[in-house]
């Protein structure tokens, strides 16, 4: 994975089909790197869902301006675009859990460290469950906290961008999806865009003061789930 660093800058462009912006060395690397391939796939998935979300939102506002109600078909499109396949998301769509994660993530960390491994060890002891150690590209670990809200133990790991903006990864559980596949949803909580990710390491909410592209890149890293899951410390 150390060789991936110089290519990560171009993964978003590769996912969007902007191959003219991508060095040949990056294209060659991605073709042989399962980690970067998974990250590109996550970029593409999130981009598709965001486009669907924007199109549905425009349709809703257009119909409202005309005073005409949504038809059943359009309502179904909203559910499909924002919620994904019902079978795969049945256990993860409680809006109160997502909203609670966004609220507690805005608080200061209870434990501070610049070492990701130390933070994960603290999280495992606090929550009593295994944690996946994920290092989003370009971010530095700041610390973590654990809160019990909306019937869920929410473990939030906070990172900083080089500019000092926060990116919060709030883990709601350590359960894999029924299909074992990763997925990303865009949500709006109190007027702010957040991302709900299911991954091999569990379900996480991505929020913070960083730009949306940065949140997107973090969601892609979490969805890729290539880092190993640690064993809970009792």
Q: Is 61 helix (H, G, I), strand (E, B) or coil?
A: helix
State the residue for tokens 């998935």: 45
State the total domains in the chain. Answer: 2
Indicate whether 229 belongs to any domain.
Answer: no
Q: Could you tell me if 90 and 74 lie in one domain?
A: no
Of 15, 48, 83, the last residue of a domain is 83
DSSP string covering 5-46: GGGGGGHHHHHTT-GGGS-HHHHHHHHH-HHHHHHHHHHHHH
Task: Summarize pLDDT for 154-192 with one digit per residue, the tens.
Answer: 999 999 999 999 999 999 987 765 555 778 888 888 778
Q: What pLDDT, on a 0 to 100 scale, did the predictor assign at position 32?
A: 86
Of 35, 68, 83, the last residue of a domain is 83
Q: Could you tell me if 110 and 65 lie in one domain?
A: no
pTM of the model: 0.60
DSSP string covering 69-101: PPPHHHHHHHHHHHH--HHHHTTT--HHHHHHH
Q: Could you tell me if 99 and 191 lie in one domain?
A: yes
Task: Summarize pLDDT for 202-221 with one digit per residue, the tens.
Answer: 899 999 999 988 998 899 88
Task: Summarize pLDDT for 65-118 with one digit per residue, the tens.
Answer: 665 554 434 444 444 344 443 333 333 345 588 999 999 999 999 999 999 999
């Amino acid at each position: 994975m150390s060789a991936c660093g110089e290519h990560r800058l171009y993964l978003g462009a590769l996912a969007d089909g902007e191959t003219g912006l991508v060095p040949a060395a990056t294209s060659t690397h991605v073709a042989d790197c399962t980690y970067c391939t998974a990250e590109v796939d996550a970029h593409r998935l999130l981009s598709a869902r965001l486009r669907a979300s924007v199109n549905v939102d425009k349709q809703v506002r257009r119909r409202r301006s005309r005073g005409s109600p949504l038809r059943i078909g359009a309502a179904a499109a909203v559910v499909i675009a924002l919620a994904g396949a019902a079978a795969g998301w049945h256990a993860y769509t409680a809006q109160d859990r997502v909203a609670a994660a966004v609220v507690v993530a805005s608080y200061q960390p209870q434990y501070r460290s610049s070492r990701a491994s130390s933070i994960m060890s603290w999280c495992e002891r606090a929550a009593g469950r295994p944690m996946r150690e994920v290092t989003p590209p370009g971010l530095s670990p700041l610390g973590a906290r654990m809160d019990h809200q909306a019937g869920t133990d929410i473990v939030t790991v906070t990172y900083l961008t080089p500019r000092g903006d926060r990116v919060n990864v709030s883990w709601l559980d350590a359960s894999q999806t029924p299909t074992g596949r990763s997925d990303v949803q865009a949500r709006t909580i109190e007027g702010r865009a957040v991302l709900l990710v299911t991954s091999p390491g569990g379900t996480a909410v991505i929020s913070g003061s960083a730009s949306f592209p940065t949140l997107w890149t973090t969601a892609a890293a979490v969805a890729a789930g290539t880092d190993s899951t640690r064993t809970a410390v009792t």
